[in-house]
């Protein structure tokens, strides 16, 4: 096992002024994009808009005509291209398994070339296949053409993870699948993504997939980057009609300015909240009994906010009142407009706010749930 | 004797195939050279080799090898050069070196075509080995040539049938290997 890691973790991938032409035609034109460590960045756009080209400059499969790509601040041209590629997991568009190798050999190819011994490779391949929900004993010894498209895509995913890379490039990994299988694979991938916690650049042309999986979304059109931002930013402040068209906001979010906070909040009853004056001991009791990780604290006209289990524990050991450890949350009334509420949450960097009706707790507004309900 | 000839043909033929693939400058001259050898009639070739190797087994083996080289080398070269571009791109994208691409991807994917070349070589080798009886190489060829010289119809028929049978058998085996490989790799070839 002699894997020399180029980087233990990826803190940033930066594409600066990247241009690539084929003949007279631009495949990408002056692209500037920074991918942050640990995020899943989606590249989306029509076919031929330059997504694959942009992705491939990162592992040097394509050398741009001008501009620099750097990982953790180091120009990728400083790395040996073979080494670089082995440190980046790449899921190839249209699956890309090698037809003459068994599934186990496809997944373990790089491990073999890196000098792992048979037993280590077998164990690793088993683990990886299990991770992508392919029972190893059923699949290891088969050839790619004996598998369905969906199964082959999982193998492609497993292969990209073989060397445990800190960075993944995924080119339409779930493309060309029927919708049901696609959803299933997305769910599985979401779990894997959480477990791995890696930096991922992910190409898709499916906006729903982008919203489900992406932390941020970069929209490309005609070789250019049009806008990059969180799903909320694209929906609520698109820079052009093209962006609204792609995020479909014209059709789906047309009615958003008529919505009120009350329409989108999660209801909350008085007995589900904690009283600011109650002792930490009984608060803890209540939370443990109800299995809550955090709870809302609401008084008649006193501070309102939330506490998490940890805070309550702290309050107990230090013998202080619950309200001392309560974190204040933005307050809305149920007839505040949704747009206004979301903007406030965003500016305060909060993911939730409390909703009051007649000074009584009525509900909670979660910004990410609002979005999910709308999509 | 036949197997020895075949073994060396494959070894040298595949080597030439890989060599010409890696050094494309040599591809045309080497393959054309082999073509010339191929066009020399087998009896003439045997006679040409007599002064060098003397009478007996060696010239026959050398002649069979010379004859078999072209189909094997040519098919190896063609196979390596014509592996679909997508598979090469996959291998490069994963981070294989050029050498690894050659031996882990190009070569295995060319095996069906190389097997096809060996099949042709088998048939050539049979022909030459049979003729080898003329120059005291022994084996079935010797018996056949004896029969011809003595005009013994029985011997000719029996040995002739044997040679034919062996040729068909070996060709069949090589054919099975070829089609198994193709089936295993799926539909691309
Ligand atoms: N090897 C190539 N030779 C010529 N043109 C190319 C090549 N690769 C890509 N292109 C062109 O560059 C543009 C962008 O391609 P690509 O990055 O593959 O788009 P996407 O992945 O967004 O579909 C397209 O117009 C495509 O035709
Ligand atoms: Mg593409």
A59 vs B contacts (CB less than 8 Å): 93
Band the pLDDT of A52: cuts 50, 70, 90.
very high
Centre of ligand 2 to C-alpha A47, Å, is: 7
A107 vs B contacts (CB less than 8 Å): none
pLDDT tens string B4-49: 778 888 899 899 888 888 888 888 888 888 878 777 777 777 777 7
**This prediction's pTM:** 0.72
| pLDDT at residue number B189 | 42
**How many A/B residue pairs have CB atoms within 8 Å?**
56
For A92, the closest of B93, B97, B109 (CB atoms) is B93
Ligand 1 nearest atom to the CA of residue A45, by list position: 22
pLDDT tens string B96-106: 999 999 999 99
For B186, the closest of A59, A81, A143 (CB atoms) is A143
Structure tokens given for B77: 């070269």
Average pLDDT, whole number, for chain B? 79
How far is the C-alpha of B92 from the C-alpha of A194, rounded, in Å? 29
Structure tokens given for A15: 């594409």
DSSP-assigned letters across all residues of B150-181:
HT-HHHHHHHHHHHHHHHHHHHHHHHHHHHHH
Query: Around ion ligand 2, which residues have CB less than 5 A away?
Result: A 52
Q: Whose CA is nearest to atom 1 of ligand 1?
A: A22
| pLDDT at residue number A328 | 84
Mutate to test the interface with B, among A98, A101, A110, A162 (most CBs of B within 10 A): A98
Ligand 1 nearest atom to the CA of residue A220, by list position: 22
Q: Which residues pair with A36 in a beta bridge?
A: A12
Residues of B with CB under 8 A from a CB of A: 86-87, 89-97, 100, 104-105, 108-109, 111, 184-188
Q: Do the strands A88-91 and A167-171 form a parallel or antiparallel pair, or are they unpaired?
A: parallel
Centre of ligand 2 to C-alpha A40, Å, is: 18
Domain of residue B47, residue span: 2-185
Could you tell me where the DSSP H helices lie in A75-206?
81-86, 103-113, 118-131, 136-139, 149-161, 179-196
Q: Whose CA is nearest to atom 21 of ligand 1?
A: A52
Taking CB atoms and an 8 Å limit, are A90 and B94 in contact across chains?
yes
A82 vs B contacts (CB less than 8 Å): 95-97
Between A269 and A317, residue with greater pLDDT = A317
Give whichever of A28-42, A344-358, B20-34 has the largest mean pLDDT. Answer: A28-42
| pLDDT at residue number B77 | 87
Residue A111: pLDDT above 80?
yes
| pLDDT at residue number A149 | 82
Band the pLDDT of A1: cuts 50, 70, 90.
very low
Pocket test for ligand 1, best of A48, A54, A93 (most atoms within 8 A of CB): A48
What's the average model confidence in pLDDT over A313-324? 81
Average pLDDT, whole number, for chain A? 85
Taking CB atoms and an 8 Å limit, are A145 and B187 in contact across chains?
yes
The residues, any chain, with a CB within 8 Å of residue A89's CB and separated by 6 or more, are A160, A161, A162, A163, A165, A167, A168, A169, A198
Kindly report the number of other CB atoms within 10 A of residue A297's CB atom.
29
Residue A349: pLDDT above 50?
yes
In terms of Cβ atoms closer than 10 Å to its own Cβ (0-12, 13-18, 19+), residue B152 is middle
Taking CB atoms and an 8 Å limit, are B186 and A99 in contact across chains?
yes
* CA distance to partner chain A, nearest, from residue B109 (Å): 7
Query: Residue A61: which of A103, A93, A23 has the closest Cα?
Result: A93
Residue labelled with tokens 């190797």: B53
ipTM of the complex: 0.76
Angle between helices B42-53 and B57-81 (to 10 degrees): 120
Between A215 and A251, residue with greater pLDDT = A215
Q: Are A54 and A16 in contact (CB under 8 A)?
A: no
Q: Whose CA is nearest to atom 10 of ligand 1?
A: A27
CATH number, domain of B119, equals 1.10.3720.10
What's the average model confidence in pLDDT over A185-213? 83
The residues, any chain, with a CB within 8 Å of residue A341's CB and separated by 6 or more, are A261, A330, A332, A353, A365
Taking CB atoms and an 8 Å limit, are B95 and A98 in contact across chains?
no
Residue A308: pLDDT above 70?
yes
| pLDDT at residue number A81 | 92
Any B CB within 8 A of A113 CB: yes
Give whichever of A61-70, A147-156, A179-188, B53-62 has the largest mean pLDDT. Answer: A61-70
Return residues 73-112 of A near B (CB < 8 Å).
81-86, 90, 92, 96-100, 109-110
Residue B107: pLDDT above 80?
yes
Lowest mean pLDDT among A105-114, A177-186, A282-291, A351-360: A177-186
* CA distance to partner chain B, nearest, from residue A129 (Å): 18
Say which ligand is closest to the CA of A28. Answer: 1
Band the pLDDT of A84: cuts 50, 70, 90.
very high
Lowest mean pLDDT among A253-262, A282-291, A319-328: A253-262
Q: How many domains does the structure of chain B reveal?
A: 1
How far is the C-alpha of B125 from the C-alpha of B5, rounded, in Å? 7
Band the pLDDT of A287: cuts 50, 70, 90.
confident
| pLDDT at residue number B140 | 64
Band the pLDDT of B135: cuts 50, 70, 90.
low
| pLDDT at residue number A121 | 95
Lowest mean pLDDT among A205-219, B11-25, B134-148: B134-148
How far is the C-alpha of A98 from the C-alpha of A118, rounded, in Å? 20
Residue A344: pLDDT above 70?
yes
| pLDDT at residue number A373 | 67
């Amino acid at each position: 096992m002699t894997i020399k890691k180029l980087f233990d973790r990826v803190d940033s991938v930066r594409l600066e002024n990247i241009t690539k032409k084929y003949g007279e035609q631009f495949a990408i034109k002056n692209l500037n994009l920074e991918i942050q460590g640990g995020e899943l960045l989606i590249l989306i756009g029509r076919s031929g808009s330059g997504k694959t080209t942009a992705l491939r400059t990162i592992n040097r499969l394509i050398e741009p005509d001008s501009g620099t790509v750097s990982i953790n601040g180091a120009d990728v041209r400083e790395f040996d291209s073979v080494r670089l590629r082995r440190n980046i997991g790449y899921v190839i568009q249209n699956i890309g398994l090698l037809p003459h190798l068994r599934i186990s050999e496809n997944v373990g190819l790089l491990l073999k070339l890196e000098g792992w011994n048979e037993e280590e490779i077998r164990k690793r391949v088993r683990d990886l296949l299990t991770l992508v929900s392919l029972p190893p004993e059923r699949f290891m010894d088969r050839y790619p053409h004996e598998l369905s498209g969906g199964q082959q895509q999982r193998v492609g995913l497993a292969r990209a993870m073989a060397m445990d890379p800190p960075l993944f490039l995924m080119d339409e990994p779930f493309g060309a699948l029927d919708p049901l299988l696609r959803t299933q694979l997305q769910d599985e991938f979401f779990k894997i993504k959480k477990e791995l916690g890696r930096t991922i650049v992910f190409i898709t042309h499916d906006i729903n997939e982008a919203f489900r999986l992406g932390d941020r979304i970069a929209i490309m059109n005609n070789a250019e980057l049009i806008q990059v931002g969180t799903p909320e930013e694209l929906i609520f402040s698109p820079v052009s009609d093209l962006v609204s068209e792609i995020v479909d906001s014209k059709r789906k979010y047309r009615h958003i300015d008529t919505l009120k906070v009350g329409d989108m909040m999660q209801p909350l009853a008085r007995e589900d909240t904690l009283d600011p004056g109650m002792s930490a001991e009984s608060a803890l009791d209540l939370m443990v009994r109800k299995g809550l990780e955090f709870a809302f604290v609401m008084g008649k006209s006193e501070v309102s906010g939330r506490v998490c289990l940890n805070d309550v524990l702290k309050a107990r050991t230090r013998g202080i009142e619950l309200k001392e450890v309560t974190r204040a949350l933005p307050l809305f009334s149920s007839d505040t407009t949704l747009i206004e509420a979301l903007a406030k949450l965003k500016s305060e960097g909060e993911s939730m706010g409390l909703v009051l009706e007649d000074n009584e707790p009525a509900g909670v507004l979660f910004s990410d749930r609002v979005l999910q309900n709308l999509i | 004797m036949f197997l020895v000839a075949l073994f060396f043909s494959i070894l040298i033929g595949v080597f030439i195939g890989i060599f010409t693939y890696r050094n494309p400058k040599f591809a045309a001259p080497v393959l054309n050279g082999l073509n010339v050898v191929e066009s020399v009639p087998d009896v003439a070739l045997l006679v040409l080799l007599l002064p060098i190797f003397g009478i007996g087994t060696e010239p026959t083996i050398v002649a069979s090898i010379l004859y078999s080289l072209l189909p094997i080398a040519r098919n190896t070269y063609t196979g390596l050069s014509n592996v679909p571009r997508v598979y090469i791109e996959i291998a490069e994208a994963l981070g294989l070196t050029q050498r690894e691409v050659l031996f882990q991807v190009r070569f295995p994917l060319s095996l069906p075509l190389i097997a096809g070349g060996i099949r042709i070589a088998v048939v050539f080798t049979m022909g030459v080995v049979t003729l080898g009886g003329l120059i005291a190489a022994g084996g079935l060829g010797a018996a056949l040539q004896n029969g011809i010289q003595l005009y013994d119809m029985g011997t000719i028929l029996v040995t002739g049938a044997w040679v034919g049978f062996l040729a068909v058998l070996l060709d069949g085996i090589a054919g099975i290997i070829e089609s198994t490989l193709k089936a295993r790799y799926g539909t691309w070839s």
